[in-house]
Amino acid sequence: MGLEQFINEAISPWLKEDGPDSDIVMSSRIRLARNFEKSPFPLIANQEHLDGILYFLEKEFNHRSYANYEQLEFVRMADLKPTEKQVLVEKHLISPHLADKSTYGAALISKNEQVSIMINEEDHIRMQLYFPGFQLEKALEEAFQIDDWLEEKIDYAFDEERGYLTSCPTNVGTGLRASVMMHLPALAMTRKLNRMIPAINQLGLVVRGIYGEGSEALGNIFQISNQVTLGRSEQDIIEDLTSVVEKLIEQERHARTLLRQQSELELEDRIFRSYGILEHSRIIESKETAKCLSDVRLGIDLGYIHHISKSILNELMVLTQPAFLQQYARRMLTPHERDVFRASLIRERFTLEQREEL
C-alpha cells in the first residue's frame, strides 16, 4: 500500500477538516458515561449479563445511522488482533482499558469516526464525539441528540438526586467528560503554562499531556478537561472549560508574538533545525519526533514555513505511534526498527508535500 492511501485510511476523516481556532485547538471531545438500569456494572457483572448487553446493542444499533453519523459498525474486542485494538487506541477511538481489560468489550464506531460508543468498558456505555478545532458547544448539542437516540432503546440508570449513575463516583451526575486538545508550544517553551495550571485546577479542570507517559506532554499537546461531574449542568461545565480555553488561546498567541519580538532568530533557527531533522534523519525516536513536529507546526502557524500543510502535526503524531508503524510495515517491529521505520515514514510524508506543490 502506498503512503498516501495508508494515510487516507489511517487518519479519521473528521480530523482532516479544519475547525475554529485550529491553529491552537486540535480537537474538542464530549464523552458521556451511561449504564443500563437493570444490569450490574461491567466490573462485577458476569458473562451472561455482559453478553446480553452486547447482543442487545448489536441487534439495535449495528449498521444504523444517526444524522451525519452513518453506518455505526459494531466491533467486538474479542474479534480483534492486539495490533488492531492498539490502532483503535492510537486513533483515540477506544480506551486502553477497553482494549486490554474488557473481555466482553465492544465499540460502535461511525463511518466518519467522529462517534465511538464504547461498550462494557468501566460503564456499560461510554459514547465519545469528536469535532475538529474548538467546537465544544456544538459537540455537546450533538452528543445530547445521540444520547436521546440511544435512550429510545435503553433504560438508563438514573436517579433524581444523583443523576446518571456510573461505576466510579468520579463520573456520577452528568457522566460528562468534556475535553479539548491544544497545541501550546509558546506557553510550554516559556514555562508560562506551569504557572497557569494551579489556577486552572482551582476551577475543577485538569491539564495533562496526552501523548507520552506521566506528566510529560509530547509535542506540546495538552488536554484540558473537567473533573467535576456532579452538581453542575453540562452547559455550565462547558462554559467554564470554554472560558479557560479562550484564555489559553489568547495567552498562547501573546506568547508567540513575544517570542517572535524578543528572539526571532533563535526561534527561526529552532524551527528550521527541527524541519531539517524530520526531513533528513534516518533513525528517530517518538520523543524527538514529537518535539520536531511541534516546532514545524509552529513554524507553519507563524509563517516561516509555507509549503507544508498544517495537518502534518495531527497526522504524524498519530501515524508515528508504534501500532501504526507496525501496521504500515505489515509486521512486528523491535523498538530500534520502529525508530528506523518512523524516520523513513516521515521522510516519505515530507516528499508527498513537495510533490503536491508541483
Minimum distance from residue 76 beta carbon to another protein (Å): 23
48 part of the interface to another protein, by CB under 8 A: no
Residue 215 is labelled as binding a ligand: no
- Closer Cβ to another protein, 7 or 165, answer by number: 165
How large is the C-alpha radius of gyration of the chain?
A: 21
Q: How far is CA 351 from the centre of its chain?
A: 27
**Whole-number Å distance between alpha carbons of 228 and 127:** 18
Site string for another protein, 143-172 (x = CB under 8 A): -x--xx--xx--xxxxxxxxxxxxxxxx-x
Site string for another protein, 105-134 (x = CB under 8 A): -----------------x------------
**Whole-number Å distance between alpha carbons of 268 and 298:** 10
51 part of the interface to another protein, by CB under 8 A: no
Total residues interacting with another protein, rule: CB under 8 A: 42
Question: At residue 352, what is the residue type?
Answer: L
Among 6, 17, 19, 40, binds another protein (CB under 8 A): 40
Beta partners for 178? 30
Q: Which three cell numbers stand for residue 341?
A: 521505520
- Closer Cβ to another protein, 224 or 293, answer by number: 224
Among 19, 133, 204, 212, binds another protein (CB under 8 A): 204
Minimum distance from residue 146 beta carbon to another protein (Å): 12
Nearest CA-CA partner of 25 in 184, 142, 200? 184
Site string for another protein, 215-244 (x = CB under 8 A): -------------xxxxxxx-x--------
41 part of the interface to another protein, by CB under 8 A: yes
Q: Which three cell numbers stand for residue 215?
A: 506528566
- Closer Cβ to another protein, 238 or 345, answer by number: 238
Contact 187, 194 (CB under 8 A): no
Contact 127, 150 (CB under 8 A): yes
- Closer Cβ to another protein, 44 or 265, answer by number: 44
Helix H or strand E encompassing 25: strand 25-34
**Whole-number Å distance between alpha carbons of 26 and 263:** 26
**Whole-number Å distance between alpha carbons of 267 and 260:** 7
Helix H or strand E encompassing 116: strand 115-119
Which range, of 9-17, 32-40, 106-114, 318-326, touches another protein by CB under 8 A? 32-40
350 part of the interface to another protein, by CB under 8 A: no
Find all residues with CB under 8 Å of 163, minimum gap 6, and list them: 172, 173, 174, 175, 230
**Whole-number Å distance between alpha carbons of 120 and 132:** 27
Minimum distance from residue 130 beta carbon to another protein (Å): 20
- Closer Cβ to another protein, 34 or 92, answer by number: 34
Residue list, annotated binding site for ATP: 27-31, 92, 126, 177-181, 208-213
Residue list, annotated binding site: 27-31, 92, 126, 177-181, 208-213
> What does the binding site for another protein look like in residue numbers (CB under 8 A)?
35, 37, 39-41, 43-44, 122, 144, 147-148, 151-152, 155-170, 172-174, 176, 204, 228-234, 236
